[in-house]
Amino acid sequence: MPVRSDDRREITAFLGALCLFLSAVEYLIPKPLPFLRLGLANLPLLLGLRFLKPVDLILVLLLKVIGQGLVNGTLASYVFLFSLAGSVVSVFTMSMVYRLGGRHVGLVGVSLSGALASSLVQVALAVTFVFGETARVIAPFSIGSGIVTGLIIGVFAERFVSSSGWLKGIERRYSISLEDSK
pTM above 0.85, yes or no: yes
Return the ∠ at Cα 119 (arms to 92 and 67), rounded to 5°: 70
What pLDDT was estimated at residue 20? 92
Kindly report which listed range (6-10, 33-37, 87-91) carries the lowest average pLDDT score: 33-37
- Let me know: does 176 contact 51? Beta carbons within 8 Å: yes
Confidence (pLDDT) at 180 = 47
**Predicted local distance difference test score (pLDDT) of residue 4:** 67
Cβ atoms of 112 and 104 closer than 8 Å: no
**pLDDT band at residue 1 under the 50/70/90 scheme:** very low
Structural domains in the chain plus CATH codes: 5-174 (1.10.1760)
What pLDDT score was predicted for residue 118?
Answer: 95
